[in-house]
Every structure is written in C-alpha cells, then in structure tokens.
Chain A
Amino acid sequence: MEKTLTNGMTLLMVERHDDPSIAGGWVAHVGSANESPGITGIAHLFEHMMFKGTTTIGTTDYAKDFEILARQEKIRDEMRAEESKMRSAWRRGGVDDWQKPENWTPHYRELQKQFQELVLEERKLIVKNEIWKLYQANGGNGMNAFTMDDMTAFHVGVPANKLELWMWMESERIFHPVFREFYAERDVVFEERRMRYDSTPLGPSAQAFNAMFWQSLPYSWPTIGWPSDISSISKPQADAFHALFYSPQNITLILVGDFNPDKVAAMAEKYFGRIPRAKNNPPDLVTTEMTQSVEKRMNAEVAANPQVDIMWHTVPFAHKDSYPLQILAQLLSTHTGRLYKGLVLGSGVATDISASQNSQKWAGWFDISGEAADGHTPEEVEKGIYAELEKLKHDPVPPEELQKVKNNFAADQYRQLNSNQNILQNLIWNDGEGDWREINAAQPKLEAVTAADVLRVANEYFKKDNRAVAIFTRKPETAPAESK
C-alpha cells in the first residue's frame, strides 16, 4: 500500500501477520552518483554518520556538545589549510606521502594534538552508539544500512509492539542528526575501503576497470570514494549534503510485517510528517554517459587465476530492453546455460563463467566474466564468449530453452520474498532504482519476451565499439611453485 505524507514523503506498507515482527526501512534517493569530484564517498560516509545520534540521542549535554563541535571545526579549518600546504609539497616531490605521520609538519602535529584534546573533551559527553543501544534493548535486530550508486537505505527489524519506537528513532535521525566523531568515522571508512578493495586480490584492478568503462557518468568512481577524498571530506560538506538530499520528498519509508496500515499511516504522519518539506527538490542527475566509440581494453597482472571480464553499455532500470537482456543473461548463465556448456564443458577453455544484466537508475551494463582453464588464456575465453554471442545474433532461441529460463524467473520471484526482511530489501532496491512497482511489474514483462526480442537486443548491444575488456593474468611471483 502506498501513501504520500503531507510533506511529500512516500510511505509503503506490506501487511504480513505470520510473525509478530516488523521490518522497517527507508531509502533516500541519493547515492554516490549524486557526488562530485572532491567529495566522492560522501554519500556513504554520510550513511555511517547517521548512526552517530541526534540532538537528544548520543549526548548528555547537547549545548556543550554543539559548542565543542564548533571548536573542533575551527581547528579542522586550520588543519585543512595545512593539509593544502602538505599536498603542495607532495606535488613538488618534497615528501613521498603527506599522510604518513612522519611527514606531517610540526604545525600540523600541534593541530592534531589540539584536535585530539577536543575529541577527549567531547567524549565525556558522548553516550556511545546510543541508537544501537536503544534498538537492542527493545529487541531491534539486523540494524544496518547500505549505500549504492543510486540510493542510501537504512533498515532494522523490531518486535511488532515496538513500531512507535521505530517511528520515533528514524524520524529523529532524519530530522535532527548530529555528526559526532566525524573524523574518526572517516578513518573507519578508510579501513572499510582497505578491507573491501585495496587489500583484496582483484579490488584495485576492478576499480580501475570500472573507471575505464564509465566515461562521463558518475558511476565511474567507487561508492566508497577515492582515497584522497575520503580523507578530505569535511563535516560542513556533509551538513550541506544532508540539507540537499535528505528532504522528505526524496525519501520513501517502507514497513513490512505485523501491523494495522491505518494506524501506521497516522503514526507516520505524526512523526515523519513534522519534517518540513524542502523548498527545492534535489537536483536531477543530468550527466549522461558518452556514447562509446572505440573498444576499451585493460591488461592487469594480479594475484589471482587468469580470467577475463567484459562489460557492454546497455540500458537502465525498467527500460523496455532490460527484460530481453535479463533473459539473455540467464540463457548464458548457470550450468545449463550456453557459456558453461560451450566453454567449460565444450571447448574446455574456461573453468567457470557467468553473465549478468545490471540495470541501475541512470544507466545499465551487461557483464560476462570467466576464468581460463589451465593451459588456456583469458583471450581464448574471450573469443569463445564472442562466438556464443554471435550464435544469439543469428539464430532465434528455441522455444524450450526460452521457457526454461522464464520458469526460473517465475520461481525466483517467490523465493526472494520469503521473509519480512527480504521483502523490505526488494522494495528498497526497486524504489531506490526508480520504482517499487517493478517488484510486481517486471515478471509479466519477462514472461512476454520473445525469441525475436532476444535476437534484436543481442544485435543491438553486443558490438565491439560498445564494450570494455579486462584481461587478468597471474603475477608471476604469486604463482604456485609447480606451475611456474
């Protein structure tokens, strides 16, 4: 059930009385695609900051806290000026890495010390992670949040009788957030970046490949942000970001579970309806992806088995061609799909291979990646992939094969709705990408795809000039002894 609050906030409700619990979440229609150079990663950092409290949660004395925060920012202004000087020294080769503590200027060290003293002063007032405490003491569970290119979402499960707690907590943190411990949290995010990307075998090259694929669209930078930006984003920038994108008209509330929708609607109006509508709607993303005109290729030596990854520009969320492209991806994927049969079981050039169509709010892409079998090269896998695609460009898919793929989509639509949490996650994702109604509308459109549609999109999108290819080979020094 969908309702619109008086301030423009959207409310979605799904009643399920199976279990005395409610999965509650909300999605803000803002993600890393809404950032700009210099503040990449701010949408995600902002997600972290939303757990730091409000004017009444997370502190014993808001007035004093506010005053310390202001003093902290003054020192940070000075530190930023000093950072600018250190960056300049680095550009001229004066230091190898200005972020290394040994390379800090004496003045910067002094400012660090002063800032640290204020952190300790503020800590006396801070009630640590109080949002978590309040939820946990009331049976809240699975509390988390995530940020993607197009959305930022927050979700938690609560016992059915604690609905009003959710209303109170979530409306408070949208309405009155306070970004405490901002700079320590920036370091946390940097550790997250190291854990997820920098310290993994394929993380660095995958980011390079993604940045090569997208030319103009802001999907080119990673949601976690560039390292230089993560360590430079300021609290004032985060405040401005909140004001611009966390307005009621840009947020959808979603509740799934054991409740009475009329009561929920009234309660939502009471709590969330009090947040004033912003004068201006958040700006639309006007940058579109440049039409690719040449094939792009990347060669990467990595600590991993040899493999190939190919991406083609396709279509965004709910585009009419996204359905035949999804069918096409499924025809190619799984152990009974064409790529596995052709390249793993058939020619034996690959050990594993998969394909996917990914449609997001502003653009989409098709991806095929495969690992080369010992004695074969990623280029052979690449060739084999093109050969399978050529068949799809010339011969219509046999009816039985098409039906097999459709049967999978039909069963999957039920599988992904097996709990309050999963239904919530599906609604969040669909709403975040453009329209929650796709959760019901997509299936008939997939069902209606014909062999001619598949043939058409195969010819339309799988062109040489429209693709980027990454060839990964193993760094020689990481090869096991026997196969060197």
Chain B
Amino acid sequence: MKTFPLLILTAALIAPFHIVRAAVIVDRPEKLSFPPLKYDAPVPDQYRVQLKSGPVVYIVPDHERPLVNVTVYVRTGKYLEPAGKEGLAELTGWLLTHGGAGTNSAAQLEERVAFLGAQLESSIGDNQGSVGLNLLSKDTDAGLGLLRDVLYAPRFQDDKIALRKQQTLQAMKQRNDDSSAIEDREADFLAHGENFWANRYSTSNSLDSITALDIEKFHYAWFWPSNFVVAITGDFERDAMIAKLEKLFAGGPENVPMDHLVAGGTPPPIPTNIVFAAPGVYLVNKPEVDQGRVSLMLPGIQRGNPDYYAVVIMNNILGGGGFTSHLMNRIRSDEGLAYSVYSSFVPGVYYPGTFTIGFQSKSRTVAYACAIALEETKRMSAQPVSDAELNLSKKSIIEGFPNFFNTKEKIVEQFAMDEFTGRHAKDPQFWQNFRAKIAAVTDQDVLRVAKKYLTPDKFAVLVVGNQTDILLGYPTHPVDLKTLFGTFHEWPLRDPLTMQPLPPAK
C-alpha cells in the first residue's frame, strides 16, 4: 500500500521580525487585486470510450489515493413497472447487491464485499438504475468480478425478497409521519397529476403481488450492456482498465427466466403526460406540527429550451442564489419568517420540470410569508433587475463554474449523466459554451422570461401543517390564505398502505 501523503507535521513559530508591519490592509475587498486564473472546461471526448462490448465509459485515472470508484448507470426505472407491480423497480434494485450473485449466496457476497473493505451498492429509481463499486485498488480484479456477477448473474434469493418486502412494508407505514415526506409526495401529485406514472406508488397489495419471476424478468429485460453508461476513476492505468471493462461487460444476463420477454432492447421512451393542478391553495392538515411547509409551484421548462440561460439568471436572482436572492432577503433576513427559503427552476430532462418556491414557517406566519413570496414573484416580471444584480448573478455562476468539475469523480459522473440523458449527443458543446451563454443574458431577457414563466395566477400552492393555526394568520400581518391564490382546497392525506385519500383529520 502507498504511504499516506496527507499531512506532514512541522511546528514552527513565525518569528516577529519576519512580519512586514508596513503591510497595508485595504479597507474594502474590491481594492484587492488578484492574479489571473484561466480555467478551461474539461472536454467530454477526452474521457469518453465506446466499448466494443456495448457501454459508453467515461474514464480518468487518479493516483492520489489507492482506490477505484466505478458507477454503472442502467437504462431502466420505475416507469417500466407493469401496472399492479408498483415497487418492483426499487425491490429489484436493492436485491442486485443483497440477494446473492454468481456463485456467492447473499451472505457470502456481503461478507466478501465487507472483507475487502469495499462498497457495492445498487438501486433503481424513477428513470435510471445504478450499481456502484468503491474499493482499494489492490482488490480491483476481485471487485470487478463481483460487479459482473451483480449485473449479469444476480440470484434474487427468496429469503431476501421476503426480507426486503417486509422492510418496505414497514417503511410504508411511516409515509404520513413526517410532514416533509408528505410535502414531497403531494407536490408531485399536484405538479404531475394523479395518474402520472411517477405517482403510482407501491401499496401493500402491489408489493404482495411481486414474485421472484417478476424480478427476474425485470432484470433480464434491461440489464444489457447496450443500456449501460459507466463512470470510472481511480488508481489504475487507462488502457489496462479499458481492457478489463471490455471483459467485465461482455455478454449479458446469464440466467434466463422462464417465459422470458424479449431482452436487450432499448427501453421505451419515458411517458410525458403530466397534468398540472388547477391554481389555488391545497392544504394538508397535520395538526401536531408547529411549522407549516410550503411549496408554491408553476409549470417549468424542459432541457433544450432556448430560454434556459435567462431562466437560470432569473431564478438565481429571485430565490436560487441563496443569501443574495430576493426571497432570502425578504422572508429570512428581513422578517425572520423562515430558516430555509429558495426557488428552483431545474429544467426537466424528459418532460417539463416544475418551478418551485419552498419554505417552512411557524404555522401562524405561513400566510404572511406566502404573500411576500407572491409579491416578489410579481416584482420579477414588473420591472427589470438592476445591473448590479444581473452582474452579480452572472459572475457567481461564471466564476463558480469550475466547481462543477473540481474532482475527477465529478467530471466523469457529470459526463456519464450527459451521455445517459442524451445531452452529450444533442449538445456536445454544452459545458464549453455554458459561461458565454450565461454572460450574454441581458436584463431584458430576464424580464421576458419572468413575464413568460412567472405567472402568479397559475400558482398551485401546497401547504402541510396545522390548518387551524395557519388559517388564523398573524395579527400584525393579516393575510387571507383562502383567497390569496384564488381557490382553497383541503387536500387529504392518503392511506399509507393503499394510497387512497383518507377522510379529513379531526
């Protein structure tokens, strides 16, 4: 093993005569001058390798520490679950690394990984799966062998299926316990509709109906090398590692399930039939909490939209830029109404995203804080932002740009995601052009996109908290939440095991 290069201790006292007492310290930081720093964005194709065995790999050696870190992204996801089998994707994702693989039983696999001091993890989310391995470079070959087993020869042991089902069922029972979990879930219902695929939650029945065969078929359908995109960094030689990866991914799933489906194809496109809720306030009553959680939502944009760069700046100034944003200044710094307040305007990859303003405030000031958020939203489209604000926002994004890529892991993972989502194919110069496009945004661009997207009469506002106190409001700043956004709806909790709406809480 390498010697550890981190810290070399030398204790020394700087003698007073070394100090230049005449050194003048300027009274304002603007008077400091800095040496120039030229930063070029990394170029994806310098890292990109198309393997003969199928996957595209983004690879970069890093010899600082004796580790190897590899992530395999898989084109699969919850959206491919058959109706009535909700929970199948998550269950399959977990079982890959916990249900045995190759010649190893579940216990043997986990013991082997633990003995190597390695981390081997897997999951399947809404529209992608991933399997990650991190281990000491001396164990690379052993680790890659286990990774191949997990990808191509998972065993999905029955006892582990039963175990995970039981754990999942118990976790389901906590669905209404935490107001932030309720907020996340119901926000998606409002932004995408009751019938959108991403809102088809697992239930006790759907979980119960999943069989080992369902899991095997789901795995067999999608875990093929043509559906993989890989990111790898660490202590290896590039060419030697590429050869290892060719071998690792060659072939495909080894155990063919009975009555198997057609396998190895490209998954169908992700459905995009979102339905955004009618404007108004939707309040979920959670009487036992003393703070209301609020999401103010509007329909957002999709990647590739030419307004993207102006939207980034607009959102940054309104609420995305942290402590320099309007929402933070008013709701937090001026009024002390919330600890966390932000806006987010992330473009959707496969369908339009959601523009969200979020904060949490004590029950009785929820309405007042909502009124400020509404006022600030309107102000964005009523007048152009100042030059100072525009420039600060642009500089913070342009000067902060290198942080997208400040570790080797970040470089390959970002590029692998671009490959996965199709951005690399559609817009290979995205990162090269990013700063120039941000720099070109004008105050009129910001005003135009604010008018276009910040449409206050369309806000769907989710509030989770103590209904009585929230509607009572605060005497020094009375605001009627029932009329502030047009309509008002009591929004029901759902039965955690069936996801059917519950009668209102008393």
Contact = CB atoms under 8 A, between A and B. Distances in A.
Interface string A128-146: 1100111011111110000
Nearest to B396: A136
Contacts of A133: 324, 392
Contact of A411 (B34, B117, B474): B117
Contacts of A413: 4
Given A194-B290, A414-B66, A480-B495, A165 B324 contact: no
Given A101-B475, A136-B321, A199-B179, A480 B170 contact: no
A160 interface: yes
A420 B406 contact: yes
Given A184-B334, A420-B406, A2 B9 contact: yes
Interface stretch (B13-21, B148-156, B295-303): B13-21
Interface stretch (B85-93, B211-219, B261-269, B337-345): B337-345
Given A137-B396, A194-B291, A418-B407, A4 B13 contact: yes
B399 A439 contact: no
Given A4-B11, A139-B400, A412-B117, A483 B32 contact: no
A25 to B, nearest CB: 15
A420 B35 CA distance: 21
A287 interface: no
Interface stretch (B74-82, B246-254, B325-333): B325-333
Given A164-B32, A266-B18, A334-B114, A304 B177 contact: yes
A187 B337 contact: yes
A364 interface: no
B468 interface: no
A387 interface: no
Contacts of B166: 351, 373-374
A159 interface: yes
B399 A138 contact: yes
A290 interface: no
A188 B369 CA distance: 13
Contacts of A73: none
Given A3-B12, A132-B324, A345-B163, A159 B399 contact: yes
A19 B329 contact: no
Interface string A311-338: 0000000000000000000000011100
Given A136-B321, A201-B178, A336-B114, A419 B407 contact: yes
A440 B407 contact: no
B111 interface: yes
A21 B6 contact: no
Interface in B1-48: 4, 6-14, 16, 18-20, 23, 25-29, 32, 34-37, 39
A188 B336 contact: yes
Interface string A251-278: 0000000000000011001110110000
A282 to B, nearest CB: 21
A184 B333 contact: yes
A127 B39 CA distance: 31
B93 to A, nearest CB: 16
A436 B9 CA distance: 11
Given A101-B476, A269-B18, A14 B6 contact: yes
Contacts, number: 259
Interface string A49-62: 00100001100000
Given A133-B392, A201-B177, A345-B163, A303 B14 contact: no
Contacts of B6: 14, 417, 423, 439-440
Most chain B beta carbons < 10 A, residue from A57, A132, A414: A414
A279 interface: no
Interface in B51-90: 64-67
A20 B335 CA distance: 39
Interface in A90-112: 101-102
Interface stretch (A32-40, A76-84, A402-410): A402-410
Interface residues of B, number: 98
A21 B400 CA distance: 10
Nearest to A371: B170
Interface in B454-506: 474-476, 495-497
A19 B406 contact: yes
A375 to B, nearest CB: 10
Contact of A21 (B107, B289, B403, B408): B403
Given A129-B324, A345-B163, A411-B135, A305 B406 contact: no
A334 B115 CA distance: 12
A161 interface: yes
A191 B176 contact: no
B402 interface: yes
Contacts of A189: 339
Contacts of A4: 11-14
B144 interface: no
Interface of B: 4, 6-14, 16, 18-20, 23, 25-29, 32, 34-37, 39, 64-67, 98, 107, 110-111, 114-119, 134-136, 163, 166-167, 169-170, 172-174, 176-180, 204, 288-291, 321-324, 328-329, 332-340, 360-362, 391-392, 395-396, 399-403, 406-409, 474-476, 495-497
Give the 6 A-B residue pairs with the shortest CB-CB distance, closest first: A187-B336, A139-B399, A411-B117, A407-B117, A136-B396, A184-B336
Interface of A: 1-6, 12, 14, 18-21, 51, 56-57, 101-102, 123, 128-129, 132-134, 136-142, 157, 159-162, 164-165, 168-169, 181, 183-192, 194-195, 198-201, 265-266, 269-271, 273-274, 303-305, 334-336, 344-345, 351-352, 371, 373-374, 400, 403-404, 407-415, 417-420, 423, 436-437, 439-440, 478-483
8 contacts: A3-B10, A165-B29, A168-B25, A183-B336, A190-B336, A194-B290, A344-B163, A407-B114
